[in-house]
């Protein structure tokens, strides 16, 4: 079994990009670009708040999409 050690991002690294939008059922989704984190929310405000907290308060790295988005979280093995 191989163990991965994840290091926190360095200060010079770009904040994660987080997409927010609605899924096919009308719920709000916030999802990191590569799927490393995300959540399902009842309002846009809650999705935005979560995205801001998770990306280190970088609103410029939050992208609201106009097409349907689904919550797909990827786990590392």
pLDDT at 39: 95
Q: Is the pLDDT of residue 1 over 90?
A: no
In 3-state terms, what secondary structure has residue 28? strand
* Position with higher pLDDT, 7 vs 48: 48
pLDDT at 74: 74
Distant-in-sequence, close-in-space partners of 27: CB < 8 Å, separation ≥ 6: 40, 41, 42
Q: What is the mean pLDDT of residues 36-61?
A: 96
pLDDT at 6: 46
Burial of 77 (0-12, 13-18, 19+ CB in 10 A): exposed
Q: What is the mean pLDDT of residues 6-24?
A: 78
Which of 53, 46, 51, 50 has the alpha carbon at shortest distance from 63? 51
Tokens at 51, concatenated? 């995205």
Confidence of residue 7 (pLDDT cuts 50, 70, 90): very low
């Amino acid at each position: 079994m191989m163990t991965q050690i994840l290091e926190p991002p360095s200060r010079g690294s770009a904040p994660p990009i987080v997409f927010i939008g609605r899924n096919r059922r009308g719920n709000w989704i916030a999802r990191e670009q590569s799927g490393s984190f995300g959540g399902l929310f009842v309002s846009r405000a809650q999705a935005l708040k979560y995205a801001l907290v998770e990306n280190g308060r970088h609103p410029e790295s939050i992208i609201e999409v106009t097409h349907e988005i689904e919550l797909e979280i990827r786990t590392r093995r």
